Protein backbone atom coordinates (compact mmCIF):
# COMPACT_ATOMS: atom_id res chain seq x y z
CA UNK A 1 0.00 0.00 0.00
CA UNK A 2 1.30 3.47 -0.87
CA UNK A 3 2.45 5.63 2.03
CA UNK A 4 0.25 8.75 1.91
CA UNK A 5 2.62 10.51 4.31
CA UNK A 6 5.72 9.88 2.23
CA UNK A 7 7.85 12.99 1.74
CA UNK A 8 7.89 14.06 -1.92
CA UNK A 9 11.28 13.90 -3.59
CA UNK A 10 13.27 17.16 -3.53
CA UNK A 11 12.85 19.49 -6.44
CA UNK A 12 15.49 19.51 -9.13
CA UNK A 13 15.84 22.46 -11.51
CA UNK A 14 17.71 22.32 -14.80
CA UNK A 15 18.06 24.54 -17.87
CA UNK A 16 15.26 23.82 -20.32
CA UNK A 17 17.88 22.99 -22.95
CA UNK A 18 18.83 19.93 -20.90
CA UNK A 19 15.26 18.62 -20.80
CA UNK A 20 13.19 16.89 -23.49
CA UNK A 21 10.89 19.46 -25.05
CA UNK A 22 8.04 17.08 -24.36
CA UNK A 23 8.53 17.83 -20.66
CA UNK A 24 8.18 21.55 -21.35
CA UNK A 25 4.96 20.80 -23.22
CA UNK A 26 3.64 18.81 -20.26
CA UNK A 27 4.15 21.81 -17.96
CA UNK A 28 2.55 24.30 -20.35
CA UNK A 29 -0.37 21.98 -21.07
CA UNK A 30 -2.92 22.38 -23.82
CA UNK A 31 -5.37 24.87 -22.28
CA UNK A 32 -5.23 28.21 -20.52
CA UNK A 33 -2.81 31.12 -20.75
CA UNK A 34 0.48 29.16 -20.83
CA UNK A 35 -0.62 27.11 -23.84
CA UNK A 36 -1.74 30.31 -25.56
CA UNK A 37 1.51 32.20 -24.98
CA UNK A 38 4.47 29.84 -24.63
CA UNK A 39 6.44 32.68 -23.01
CA UNK A 40 6.47 34.68 -26.24
CA UNK A 41 4.40 37.70 -25.14
CA UNK A 42 7.43 39.82 -24.29
CA UNK A 43 9.27 38.74 -27.45
CA UNK A 44 6.77 39.64 -30.17
CA UNK A 45 5.73 43.25 -30.89
CA UNK A 46 2.10 43.95 -30.16
CA UNK A 47 1.25 44.62 -33.80
CA UNK A 48 2.44 41.14 -34.75
CA UNK A 49 1.05 39.18 -31.79
CA UNK A 50 -2.42 38.45 -33.13
CA UNK A 51 -1.04 36.98 -36.32
CA UNK A 52 0.94 34.22 -34.60
CA UNK A 53 -0.94 31.01 -33.85
CA UNK A 54 -0.50 28.74 -30.83
CA UNK A 55 1.47 26.13 -32.76
CA UNK A 56 3.85 28.79 -34.07
CA UNK A 57 4.35 30.15 -30.55
CA UNK A 58 5.20 26.69 -29.27
CA UNK A 59 7.61 26.17 -32.17
CA UNK A 60 9.28 29.51 -31.39
CA UNK A 61 9.91 28.46 -27.79
CA UNK A 62 11.26 25.10 -28.88
CA UNK A 63 13.68 26.83 -31.27
CA UNK A 64 14.76 29.33 -28.59
CA UNK A 65 15.51 26.50 -26.16
CA UNK A 66 17.59 24.75 -28.83
CA UNK A 67 19.70 27.83 -29.56
CA UNK A 68 23.13 28.16 -28.03
CA UNK A 69 23.57 30.74 -25.31
CA UNK A 70 21.81 31.56 -22.05
CA UNK A 71 18.10 31.19 -21.44
CA UNK A 72 15.28 31.17 -22.14
CA UNK A 73 14.11 29.22 -19.11
CA UNK A 74 14.36 26.56 -16.44
CA UNK A 75 12.38 23.41 -15.77
CA UNK A 76 11.67 21.99 -12.31
CA UNK A 77 11.23 18.30 -11.59
CA UNK A 78 9.83 16.38 -8.68
CA UNK A 79 11.47 13.03 -9.22
CA UNK A 80 10.98 12.36 -12.93
CA UNK A 81 7.85 14.53 -13.18
CA UNK A 82 8.21 18.03 -14.71
CA UNK A 83 6.35 20.37 -12.35
CA UNK A 84 7.21 23.95 -13.28
CA UNK A 85 8.82 26.45 -15.64
CA UNK A 86 10.45 29.84 -15.13
CA UNK A 87 11.45 32.24 -17.90
CA UNK A 88 14.83 33.89 -17.26
CA UNK A 89 17.23 35.40 -19.78
CA UNK A 90 19.01 38.63 -20.73
CA UNK A 91 16.51 41.50 -20.69
CA UNK A 92 17.29 42.84 -24.21
CA UNK A 93 15.78 39.65 -25.64
CA UNK A 94 12.38 40.77 -24.38
CA UNK A 95 11.57 43.82 -26.52
CA UNK A 96 8.08 44.37 -25.11
CA UNK A 97 9.57 45.09 -21.71
CA UNK A 98 10.83 48.38 -23.16
CA UNK A 99 7.27 49.72 -23.21
CA UNK A 100 6.08 48.36 -19.87
CA UNK A 101 5.37 50.98 -17.24
CA UNK A 102 6.84 48.86 -14.45
CA UNK A 103 10.18 48.73 -16.26
CA UNK A 104 10.31 52.32 -17.52
CA UNK A 105 9.41 53.81 -14.15
CA UNK A 106 10.89 51.21 -11.81
CA UNK A 107 14.15 49.75 -13.05
CA UNK A 108 17.47 50.95 -11.68
CA UNK A 109 19.08 49.64 -14.89
CA UNK A 110 17.82 52.00 -17.62
CA UNK A 111 20.11 50.73 -20.40
CA UNK A 112 17.67 48.33 -22.02
CA UNK A 113 20.36 47.06 -24.41
CA UNK A 114 22.59 45.87 -21.56
CA UNK A 115 22.96 42.09 -21.95
CA UNK A 116 24.27 41.80 -18.40
CA UNK A 117 20.84 42.70 -17.00
CA UNK A 118 18.65 39.61 -16.87
CA UNK A 119 14.91 39.39 -16.27
CA UNK A 120 12.64 36.79 -14.72
CA UNK A 121 9.25 37.26 -16.34
CA UNK A 122 7.03 34.21 -16.03
CA UNK A 123 6.27 31.10 -13.99
CA UNK A 124 4.14 28.16 -15.05
CA UNK A 125 3.20 25.60 -12.40
CA UNK A 126 0.36 23.20 -13.24
CA UNK A 127 -2.51 23.33 -10.77
CA UNK A 128 -1.79 19.90 -9.31
CA UNK A 129 1.74 20.94 -8.34
CA UNK A 130 0.97 24.29 -6.70
CA UNK A 131 1.43 24.96 -3.01
CA UNK A 132 4.70 23.04 -2.80
CA UNK A 133 7.17 25.88 -3.23
CA UNK A 134 7.91 25.06 -6.88
CA UNK A 135 7.94 28.69 -8.03
CA UNK A 136 10.14 29.81 -5.14
CA UNK A 137 12.66 27.10 -5.95
CA UNK A 138 12.59 28.16 -9.59
CA UNK A 139 13.21 31.78 -8.54
CA UNK A 140 16.27 30.68 -6.55
CA UNK A 141 17.51 28.71 -9.53
CA UNK A 142 16.93 31.73 -11.79
CA UNK A 143 19.36 33.72 -9.64
CA UNK A 144 21.97 30.99 -10.03
CA UNK A 145 21.37 30.79 -13.78
CA UNK A 146 21.75 34.54 -14.20
CA UNK A 147 24.94 34.59 -12.15
CA UNK A 148 26.39 31.69 -14.15
CA UNK A 149 25.42 33.44 -17.38
CA UNK A 150 27.42 36.54 -16.52
CA UNK A 151 24.63 38.80 -15.27
CA UNK A 152 25.42 41.83 -13.15
CA UNK A 153 21.77 42.13 -12.11
CA UNK A 154 18.72 39.89 -12.34
CA UNK A 155 15.44 41.77 -12.25
CA UNK A 156 11.86 40.65 -11.59
CA UNK A 157 8.49 42.37 -11.81
CA UNK A 158 6.59 40.97 -8.88
CA UNK A 159 2.92 41.10 -7.98
CA UNK A 160 1.92 42.02 -4.42
CA UNK A 161 -1.28 40.02 -3.88
CA UNK A 162 -1.85 41.63 -0.47
CA UNK A 163 -2.86 44.93 -2.09
CA UNK A 164 -6.08 45.73 -3.89
CA UNK A 165 -8.56 43.15 -5.10
CA UNK A 166 -7.85 39.46 -4.85
CA UNK A 167 -5.61 38.30 -7.68
CA UNK A 168 -6.42 35.26 -9.80
CA UNK A 169 -3.83 32.58 -10.42
CA UNK A 170 -3.48 33.85 -13.99
CA UNK A 171 -2.53 37.31 -12.70
CA UNK A 172 0.30 35.90 -10.59
CA UNK A 173 2.35 34.56 -13.50
CA UNK A 174 5.16 37.16 -12.95
CA UNK A 175 5.70 35.81 -9.41
CA UNK A 176 4.87 37.31 -6.03
CA UNK A 177 6.78 39.64 -3.73
CA UNK A 178 7.01 37.06 -0.94
CA UNK A 179 8.26 34.39 -3.32
CA UNK A 180 11.04 36.58 -4.68
CA UNK A 181 11.98 37.77 -1.19
CA UNK A 182 12.41 34.14 -0.14
CA UNK A 183 14.71 33.67 -3.14
CA UNK A 184 16.93 36.60 -2.11
CA UNK A 185 15.49 39.44 -4.21
CA UNK A 186 15.19 42.94 -2.74
CA UNK A 187 12.56 45.52 -3.59
CA UNK A 188 14.00 48.49 -5.48
CA UNK A 189 10.84 50.26 -6.70
CA UNK A 190 7.05 50.09 -6.50
CA UNK A 191 5.64 51.79 -9.61
CA UNK A 192 2.10 50.87 -8.56
CA UNK A 193 0.60 49.63 -5.32
CA UNK A 194 0.56 46.03 -6.51
CA UNK A 195 3.58 45.84 -8.86
CA UNK A 196 7.12 45.79 -7.52
CA UNK A 197 10.53 45.77 -9.19
CA UNK A 198 12.82 43.39 -7.32
CA UNK A 199 16.49 42.63 -8.00
CA UNK A 200 19.53 40.63 -7.06
CA UNK A 201 22.84 42.33 -7.87
CA UNK A 202 26.11 40.45 -8.33
CA UNK A 203 29.41 42.05 -7.43
CA UNK A 204 32.06 41.94 -10.11
Say how far apart CA 204 and CA 186 lie, in whole Å.
Answer: 18
Q: pLDDT grade, residue 9 (50/70/90)?
A: low
Say how far apart CA 93 and CA 89 lie, in whole Å.
Answer: 7
DSSP one-letter string for 83-147:
EEEEEEEEGGG-GGGGG-HHHHHH-S---TT-TTEEEEEEEE--GGGTTSSHHHHHHHHHHHHHH
Give a yes or no: residue 144 inside a domain.
yes
Say how far apart CA 118 and CA 198 lie, in whole Å.
Answer: 12
pLDDT digits (tens, 9 = 90+) for 62-104: 999 999 888 899 999 999 999 999 999 999 999 999 999 999 9
**Domain range for 184:** 11-201
Do residues 41 and 94 touch, judged by C-beta distance below 8 A? no
CATH (domain of 115): 3.40.630.30
Give a yes or no: residue 141 inside a domain.
yes
Torsion of CA 169, 173, 178, 179, to 10 degrees: 110
pLDDT digits (tens, 9 = 90+) for 130-146: 988 999 999 999 999 99
Give a yes or no: residue 57 inside a domain.
yes
Backbone conformation region of residue 131, classed left if phi is above 0, alpha if psi is from -120 to 50, else beta: left
Give a yes or no: residue 4 inside a domain.
no
Give a yes or no: residue 33 inside a domain.
yes
Please tell me the least confidently modeled range out of 5-19, 32-46, 99-113, 163-177.
Answer: 5-19
- If you ran DSSP here, which 8-state letter would residue 168 be given? P
pLDDT: which is higher, 49 or 92: 92
Give a yes or no: residue 5 inside a domain.
no
Say how far apart CA 100 and CA 152 lie, in whole Å.
Answer: 21
How many domains does one find in the chain? 1
Give a yes or no: residue 1 inside a domain.
no
Give a yes or no: residue 132 inside a domain.
yes
| Predicted model pTM | 0.91
Amino acid sequence: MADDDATPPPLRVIPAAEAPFGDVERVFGTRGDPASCWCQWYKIPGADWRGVGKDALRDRLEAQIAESGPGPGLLAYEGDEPVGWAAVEPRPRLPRLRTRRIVKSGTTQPDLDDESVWAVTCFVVPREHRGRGVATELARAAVDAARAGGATVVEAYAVDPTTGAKKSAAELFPGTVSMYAAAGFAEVARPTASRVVMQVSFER
